[in-house]
């Protein structure tokens, strides 16, 4: 058994009287693609928010690469190598494609005040490097955008925004990528393309693990190595897609709320 | 040893200030409740109310109808209606059109509205640049309770304020209108689905809040016997701080915040009687301190962002 | 890769500089005529011409070219701007009032740049701009009264004290959402003025005298005699000092914007949650912006005080703070080119058009309100960010 990259133990989050996560146990192994599925409101996004430090859990631990990161700030967690996308796109619509992607590279960029004012050459070098990486990523995910690098994101269609958001998460070379419903607003074909692109990048980066929240079961079936099913903040099933799809509890959870 | 009579006098003063602050704060909190906006013209709407009251009084004097009770009734009613209309107009033509804009733009736009009102009074009201005397219309009979000197006008003003707060409570909790306001505040989308006219509810809320400000302005005038064009700026900032202290969106919190603020301010005046000139300085210092210590309000502000 | 189609280099230098020079000459001509204009009808006529020219420039794309030059060739354009100001100073060297206006313009530009860093970039609304300007002024008043204190040091000292005041004041509320910081700054603005009025050490409502600047015994408050028989206004010194300060402020603001720090500020302004998830320190970024903004504002205030020689609480009212903010909102939030235009409108217009002088607060608030409602991006919308080495930009 390989040590997990991410180990979530007994995670509990309450909003007032509502229990969003109830003793959740979850592990992500290096280089695997894990599908996180479950009906609406089952705690998937809350789980991402705790892992990335946006929410403090009421109980439980999050261990990443052997270190306890429970209660760390989002900034620290990003620097350790966890990056994410958001269910509702959180791109900076007024900023350019490049600005948006470059933001994801923050851990390798110097935003110190003295550097900003006095060491312009250093900034120019970092700019050139970030530009090259941005282009390389766009070359995989959205080659057409290389020509539109300086345009505000607001002018681009939703599908391009999704791709840019993924580039922003990837440019900092994370070890764990959390994707929150990337397929929203995409056709199945576009989603398939996106997942193929992700696999390309995973090969290139060597050790990238991905957790994918997704409602399109076709996508889950095709790309994930393993699935975890949540309901009412608890894990109700785990295993490869075929086995969890057959699980009676999973079926009743979906039928009971969604169907 | 602090003189007991002086202490009581301070307490009365704090209650008076408290009810005025509370009335202003309730407006801020109502606006935030229904629309999640800070309407910063609120304080200057108050000034407009006070000056409307003064104008009514001067008109009554001019036509020789200035009997105190009629004057008091008109002095409250006319400004309240005028500011209700003004508040609804600002809501309709400034705040609602900016619905999709960044929240700070709404704050700025309404602040500019307030500046326009303030400057218009300064420039166009006769002698508006100087403080104006406000008539003392209420009987000033003093009662001696032990060694406390209680004036009837203070008592009347305070009771009026309390009555208005109670009335507001009843409107919000016992009427269809109140139900609509609460529904919109809870969730505008669901309220719409329930068939509640969103724009109408918002505008009525703005009207009510603004009328309360006019009442506070008139009370301020009757209590201190003086009004000026920038009074609303000061009361607006204090009222807003009170609303924040009580948790924006929470009506009872705002009332509590108003009284808390008044007591802190009075406490400051008592602790430093040698520095009475610093009264306002102390008030604003309290605003800043409160913001620094309790930025989310005594009763947690709703709608705190979750990713 | 498709390097040829991606613009990362500067536009070619010569035709671009030609645009810059042409724009400078035209602006210089216009400003000269405007400052010379005496009759109200002449001023109104020039305003109409200016407005028409602005519309033509915007429609024809000339405006975009000028902004491109401004963004891509800061040193050349800075020199041209300096030459422009020096030319005007020389033309009006004997007229106190015109030089005072030019200095005021440059000081307002400096203040506007400070506020741009705070609000335009990092999104922290500061309603106490005039108060921090006042902090700088009063610092200068106090320091120039100290025997043996080198007067020139009063300028950076004014900035420093304003920066410290600002960080003490606002640091605690920066954690929270924008409107709390806004209210704290309003409270400070009102507190500051009331404090000055009741406080006797700092002169009360009557105000304080301020010593003049001097360098090695050369007094800035004495008239300038460039050659025998000619006497220039002492304001010439202050135009020069304010010009240096404005250029410094512009360089600081530009370098901040064109950097990762500027990107972080934009990110914090627009979405703190996304910014935090990509490692941006929210509080640190806001504090840096607030402190440096106030530094510039305080330095401008100190220079102002030594120029006018006398300051009183009434110079630093809440209404003045609103005027400073109006400049930003009129020009376009975060837009340095817009700031240069809007500051000119706000400073020169009321001085030349007596009919609006009294109503300027009313007028500018109304103008800003209209702008917020119908053109929130301002007169000259902020150009896209450029990067050191010539990437990006308009």
Does domain B4-293 match CATH 1.10.3470? yes
Can you tell me the distance from the alpha carbon of C264 to that of C279, in angstroms, rounded to the nearest whole number?
A: 9
pLDDT grade, residue B263 (50/70/90)? confident
Query: Which DSSP state fits C4?
Result: G
Domain ranges for chain B, please list them: 4-293
Question: Residue A91: closest CA among chain C residues belongs to which residue?
Answer: C274
The pLDDT value given to residue B2: 57
- Domain end: C91, C110, C131, which one? C91
- The model's pLDDT over A84-140, given as tens digits with 9 standing for 90+, comes to 999 888 999 999 999 999 999 988 888 888 888 898 889 999 999 999 999 999 998
Any chain A CB within 8 A of the CB of C14? Answer: no
C79 with C181, same domain: the answer is: no
Between strands A59-64 and A176-180, the pairing is unpaired
Q: Could you tell me the pLDDT band of residue C138, with boundaries at 50, 70 and 90?
A: very high
Q: Based on the fold, state whether residues C109 and C227 are members of the same structural domain.
A: yes
Give the residue-averaged pLDDT of B152-172. 89
Q: Is-contact B207 B87, C-beta < 8 A? A: yes
C174 and C296 in a single domain? The answer is yes
Provide φ and ψ at A212, rounded to 5°: -125, 120
- Indicate whether C361 belongs to any domain: no
Which two structure tokens, joined as six digits, stand for B115? Answer: 């500046």
Q: How distant is the Cα of C113 from the closest Cα of chain B, in angstroms?
A: 19
Task: Give a yes or no: residue C40 inside a domain.
Answer: yes
Which residues of chain B neighbour A55 with C-beta distances below 8 Å? 306-307
Interface probe for B, chosen from C126, C127, C170, C184 (most Cβ of B below 10 Å), is C184
Whether C137 shows a pLDDT value over 80: the answer reads yes
Q: Would C372 be classed as within a structural domain?
A: no
DSSP state, residue C3? G
Question: Contact A111/C260, CB-based, under 8 Å?
Answer: yes
B96 touches chain C (CB under 8 A): no
Contact between B79 and B217 under an 8 Å Cβ cutoff? The reply is yes
**Can you tell me the distance from the alpha carbon of C228 to that of B241, in angstroms, rounded to the nearest whole number?**
62
Q: Residue C1 — very low, low, confident or very high, per pLDDT cuts 50/70/90?
A: very low
- Mean pLDDT (whole number) for C299-326: 92
Q: Do A111 and C261 touch (CB under 8 A)?
A: yes
Helix (H, G, I), strand (E, B) or coil at B259: helix
In angstroms, the separation between the Cα of residue C129 and the nearest Cα of chain A is 22
Q: Are residues C106 and C40 in the same domain?
A: no
Distance to chain B for C18, nearest Cα, Å: 38
β-strand partners of A14: A19
Which domain covers residue C149, as residue numbers? Answer: 99-324
pLDDT digits (tens, 9 = 90+) for B202-243: 999 999 999 999 999 999 999 889 999 989 988 998 898 888
pLDDT in tens, chain A (259 residues): 578 899 999 899 888 788 888 888 999 998 899 999 888 888 889 889 999 999 888 999 999 998 999 988 999 999 999 999 998 889 999 999 999 999 999 888 888 888 888 988 899 999 999 999 999 999 988 888 888 999 999 999 888 898 899 999 999 999 999 999 888 778 878 888 888 888 888 888 878 899 999 888 888 888 888 999 888 888 888 888 888 888 888 888 776 544 3
- Could you give the CA distance from residue C320 to residue C133 in angstroms, rounded to a whole number? 10
Give the Cα separation of A195 and A89 in Å (integer): 18
A59-64 vs A67-68, strand pairing mode? antiparallel
Average pLDDT over residues B68-72: 81
The number of C-alpha atoms within 13 Å of C40 and in the hemisphere containing its C-beta is 6
Give the contacts of B110 (CB within 8 A, at least 6 positions apart): B37, B38, B39, B40, B41, B42, B90, B94, B95
Those residues whose C-beta lies under 8 Å from the C-beta of residue C114, and which sit 6 or more positions away, are C129, C249, C292, C293, C294, C295, C296, C297, C300
**Per the domain annotation, does C230 fall within a domain?**
yes
User: Where in chain A does DSSP place strands (E)?
Assistant: 6-15, 18-28, 33-37, 59-64, 67-68, 82-84, 176-180, 209-213, 226-231, 234-239
Give strand pairing partners of A229: A37, A237
Using only C-alpha atoms, chain C has a radius of gyration, in whole angstroms, of: 21
Closest residue of A to C280, CA-based? A75
User: Are residues C293 and C168 part of one domain?
Assistant: yes
Search chain C and give the residue with CA nearest A174: C278
Q: Are the Cβ atoms of C280 and A104 closer than 8 angstroms?
A: no
The residue length of chain C stands at: 394
Q: How far is C269 from chain B (nearest CA, A)?
A: 11
Binary contact (B108, C319; C-beta < 8 A): no
Find the closest chain A residue to C262 by CA distance.
Answer: A111
In 3D space, the residue among C298, C335, C292, C293 whose CA is nearest the CA of residue C107 turns out to be: C298
Which of 153-192 (C) contact B at CB < 8 A?
169, 172-173, 175-176, 178-180, 182-184, 186-188, 190-191
Q: What is the ipTM of this complex?
A: 0.91
| B296 touching C (Cβ < 8 Å) | yes
Cβ contacts of A86 on chain B, cutoff 8 Å: 307
Quick check: B292 and C173 CB within 8 A?
yes
Into how many domains does chain C fold? 2
Kind and range of the H or E run holding B146: none
Q: If you ran DSSP here, which 8-state letter would residue C224 be given?
A: B
The verdict on B35 touching C (C-beta cutoff 8 Å) is no
Answer with the one of C324, C342, C373 that is the final residue of a domain. Answer: C324
Long-range contacts of B121-129 (CB under 8 A, 24+ apart): B121/B47, B121/B48, B121/B51, B121/B229, B122/B229, B123/C358, B123/C359, B123/C362, B125/B51, B125/B229, B128/B51, B128/B229, B129/B229
Domain termination residue (choose one: C61, C91, C121): C91
Same domain, C24 and C153: no
Kindly provide the residue ranges of all beta strands, DSSP E only, lying in C281-394, ordered along the sequence.
Answer: 310-311, 386-387, 391-392
CA distance C85 to C245: 13
pTM: 0.90
In chain C, the residue whose alpha carbon lies closest to the alpha carbon of A48 is: C277
């Amino acid at each position: 058994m390989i040590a997990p990259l991410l180990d979530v133990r007994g995670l509990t989050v309450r909003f007032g009287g509502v229990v969003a996560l109830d003793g959740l146990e979850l592990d992500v192994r290096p280089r695997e693609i894990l599908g996180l599925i479950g009906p609406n409101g089952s705690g998937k996004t809350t789980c991402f928010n705790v892992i990335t430090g946006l929410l403090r859990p009421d109980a439980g631990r999050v261990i990443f690469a052997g270190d306890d990161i429970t209660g760390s700030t989002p900034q620290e967690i990003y620097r350790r190598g966890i990056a994410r996308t958001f269910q509702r796109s959180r791109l900076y619509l007024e900023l350019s494609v490049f600005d948006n992607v470059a933001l994801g590279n923050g851990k390798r960029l110097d935003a110190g005040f003295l550097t900003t004012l006095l060491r312009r050459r250093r900034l120019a070098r970092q700019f050139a490097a970030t530009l090259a990486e941005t282009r390389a990523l766009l070359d995989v995910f959205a080659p057409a955008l290389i020509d539109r690098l300086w345009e505000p994101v607001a002018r681009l269609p939703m599908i391009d925004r999704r791709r840019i958001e993924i580039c922003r998460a990837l440019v900092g070379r994370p070890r764990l990528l959390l994707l929150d419903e990337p397929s929203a607003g995409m056709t199945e074909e576009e989603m398939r393309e996106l997942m193929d692109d992700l696999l390309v990048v995973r090969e290139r980066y060597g050790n990238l693990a991905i957790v994918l929240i997704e409602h399109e079961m076709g996508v889950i079936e095709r790309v994930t190595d393993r699935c975890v099913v949540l309901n009412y903040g608890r894990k109700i099933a785990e295993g490869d897609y075929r086995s969890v799809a057959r699980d009676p509890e999973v079926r009743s959870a979906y039928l009971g709320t969604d169907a | 040893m602090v003189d007991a009579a002086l202490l009581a006098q301070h307490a009365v003063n704090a209650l008076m200030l408290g009810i005025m602050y509370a009335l202003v704060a309730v407006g801020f909190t109502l606006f935030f409740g229904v629309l999640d906006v800070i309407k910063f013209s609120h304080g200057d709407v108050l000034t407009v109310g006070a000056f409307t009251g003064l104008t009514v009084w001067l008109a009554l004097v001019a036509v020789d109808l200035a009997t105190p009770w009629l004057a008091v009734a008109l002095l409250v009613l006319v400004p309240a209606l005028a500011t209700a209309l003004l508040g609804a107009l600002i809501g309709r033509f400034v705040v609602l059109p900016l619905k999709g804009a960044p929240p700070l733009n709404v704050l700025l736009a309404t602040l500019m509205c307030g500046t326009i009102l303030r400057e218009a009074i300064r420039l166009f009201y006769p002698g508006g640049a100087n403080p104006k005397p406000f008539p003392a219309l209420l009987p000033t009979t003093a009662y001696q309770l032990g060694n406390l000197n209680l004036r009837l006008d203070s008592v009347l003003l305070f009771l009026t304020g309390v009555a208005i707060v109670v009335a507001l409570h009843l409107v919000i909790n016992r009427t269809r209108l109140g139900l609509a306001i609460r529904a919109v505040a809870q969730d505008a989308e669901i309220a719409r689905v329930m068939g509640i006219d969103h724009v109408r509810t918002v505008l009525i809320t703005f009207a009510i809040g603004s009328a309360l400000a006019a009442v506070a302005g008139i009370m301020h005038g009757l209590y201190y016997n003086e009004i000026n064009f920038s009074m609303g700026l000061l009361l607006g900032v204090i009222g807003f701080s009170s609303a924040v202290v009580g948790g924006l969106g929470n009506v009872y919190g705002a009332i509590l915040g108003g009284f808390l603020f008044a007591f802190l301010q009075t406490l400051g005046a008592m602790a430093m009687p040698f520095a009475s000139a610093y009264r306002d300085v102390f008030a604003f210092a309290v605003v800043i301190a409160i913001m620094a210590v309790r930025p989310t309000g005594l009763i947690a502000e709703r709608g705190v962002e979750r990713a | 890769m498709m390097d040829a189609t991606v613009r990362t280099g500067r536009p070619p230098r010569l035709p671009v500089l030609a645009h810059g020079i042409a724009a400078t000459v035209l602006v210089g001509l216009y400003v000269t005529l405007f400052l010379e204009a005496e009759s109200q009808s002449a001023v109104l006529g020039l305003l109409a011409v200016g407005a028409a020219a602005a519309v033509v420039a915007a429609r024809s794309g000339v405006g975009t070219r000028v902004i491109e030059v401004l963004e891509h060739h800061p040193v050349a354009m800075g020199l041209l701007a300096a030459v422009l100001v020096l030319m005007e100073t020389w033309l009006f060297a004997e007229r106190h009032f015109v030089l005072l206006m030019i200095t005021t313009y440059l000081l307002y530009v400096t203040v506007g740049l400070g506020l741009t860093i705070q609000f335009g970039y990092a999104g922290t609304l500061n309603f106490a701009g005039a108060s921090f300007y006042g902090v700088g002024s009063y610092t200068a008043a106090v320091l120039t009264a100290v025997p043996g204190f080198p007067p020139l040091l009063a300028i950076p000292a004014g900035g420093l004290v304003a920066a410290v005041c600002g960080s003490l004041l606002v640091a605690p509320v920066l954690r929270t959402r924008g409107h709390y910081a806004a209210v704290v700054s309003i409270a400070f603005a009102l507190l500051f003025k009331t404090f000055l009025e009741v406080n006797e050490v700092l002169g009360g409502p009557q105000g304080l005298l301020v010593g003049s600047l001097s360098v090695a015994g050369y007094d800035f408050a004495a008239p300038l005699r460039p050659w025998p028989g000619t006497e220039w206004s002492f304001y010439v010194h202050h135009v020069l000092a304010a010009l240096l300060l404005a250029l410094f402020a512009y360089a600081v603001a530009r370098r901040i914007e064109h950097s990762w720090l500027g990107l972080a500020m934009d990110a914090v302004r627009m979405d703190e949650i996304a910014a935090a998830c990509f490692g941006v320190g929210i509080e640190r970024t806001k504090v840096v912006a607030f402190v440096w903004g106030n530094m510039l504002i305080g330095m401008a205030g100190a220079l102002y005080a030594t120029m006018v020689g006398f300051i009183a609480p009434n110079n630093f009212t809440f209404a003045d703070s609103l005027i400073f903010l109006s400049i930003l909102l009129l020009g376009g939030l975060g837009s340095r080119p817009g700031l240069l235009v809007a500051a000119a409108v706000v400073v020169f217009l009321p001085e030349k058009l007596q009919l609006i002088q009294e109503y300027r607060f009313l007028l500018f608030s109304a103008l800003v309100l209209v702008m917020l409602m119908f053109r929130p991006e301002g007169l000259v919308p902020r150009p896209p960010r450029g990067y050191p080495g010539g990437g990006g930009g308009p």
